[in-house]
């Protein structure tokens, strides 16, 4: 039991560290959407919890149905492919939204006639656009949550299948909890540290394009993970 719990904790840490999709999307969105630290922690925690619990529930269902380890790992691999392509679609979709918003934010002048005579003022249409089409701050965390629920934890499956086959249910839960706590904890630490660094960056004139940049980086990170098999 001790060996399996330590292995679960170690794999939970490595699984998260080498998978940039576990923390980079939160960093990019926290910067572009101006999340508070409390909002960041809440979103990361819920996404991490959904990420781990979905694999635990799948594993438990597989055990109940008598599905073998190889079959379960195949299902997890398929889920992983779906989750990555969802992340890519979300990233580039958000990039398109960001480009549209940046164009609307381009300030321009209008001349108006009033009683005191003509005058000019600057404005943009971003506020009206957000009012008409909804606030992305409310939508993006839920999309990210769905992506993480689809995302598998492949290393966890064989770790709790073995004690489950020996009917050691205490070990099954200990392994699952160790893996889950370390995975979510690592996500929280990495997302927090990287977000603190990202918020210090001064984008200058690129600030107007930060939503588009965030979307591009999220989509590109998903493509890189697919391409390099991270």
Local confidence pLDDT in tens for the 230 residues of the chain: 888 899 999 999 998 998 888 999 999 999 888 899 999 999 999 999 998 998 888 777 777 666 666 676 677 777 778 888 888 998 898 889 888 887 876 554 545 555 555 555 554 444 444 444 456 667 788 888 888 888 777 777 777 777 776 767 788 889 989 999 999 999 999 999 999 988 887 766 777 788 888 889 888 888 888 887 66
77 found inside a domain: yes
114 found inside a domain: no
- 75-97: pLDDT as tens digits: 777 777 888 888 899 889 888 98
Structural domain including 179 reads 2-106+123-228
Strands (E), 36-186: 108-114, 117-123
* Distance, CA of 144 to CA of 141 (rounded, Å): 5
Give the count of domains, the chain.
1
* Distance, CA of 94 to CA of 123 (rounded, Å): 24
pTM for this predicted structure: 0.78
* Distance, CA of 152 to CA of 164 (rounded, Å): 19
113 found inside a domain: no
116 found inside a domain: no
177 found inside a domain: yes
Place of tokens 């819920």: 46
What phi-psi label fits residue 229: left (phi over 0), alpha (psi between -120 and 50 degrees) or beta?
Answer: left
């Amino acid at each position: 039991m001790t060996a399996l719990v330590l292995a679960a904790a170690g794999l939970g840490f490595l699984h998260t560290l080498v998978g940039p999709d576990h923390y980079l999307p939160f960093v990019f969105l926290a910067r572009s959407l101006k999340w508070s630290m409390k909002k960041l922690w809440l979103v990361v925690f819920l996404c991490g919890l959904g990420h781990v619990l979905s694999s635990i529930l799948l594993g438990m269902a597989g055990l109940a149905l008598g599905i073998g380890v190889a079959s379960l790992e195949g299902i997890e691999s398929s889920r992983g492919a779906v989750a990555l392509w969802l992340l890519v679609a979300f990233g580039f979709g958000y990039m398109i939204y960001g480009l549209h918003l940046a164009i609307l934010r381009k300030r321009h002048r209008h001349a108006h006639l009033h009683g005191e005579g003509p005058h000019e003022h600057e404005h943009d249409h971003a506020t009206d656009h957000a009012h008409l089409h909804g606030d992305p701050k409310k939508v993006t965390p839920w999309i990210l949550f769905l992506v993480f629920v689809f995302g598998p934890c492949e290393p966890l499956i064989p770790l709790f299948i073995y004690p489950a086959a020996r009917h050691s249910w205490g070990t099954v839960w200990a392994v699952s909890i160790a893996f889950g706590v370390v995975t979510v904890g690592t996500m929280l630490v990495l997302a927090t540290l990287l977000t603190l660094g990202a918020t210090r960056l001064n984008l200058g004139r690129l600030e107007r394009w930060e939503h588009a940049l965030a979307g591009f980086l999220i989509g590109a990170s998903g493509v890189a993970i697919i391409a390099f098999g991270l």
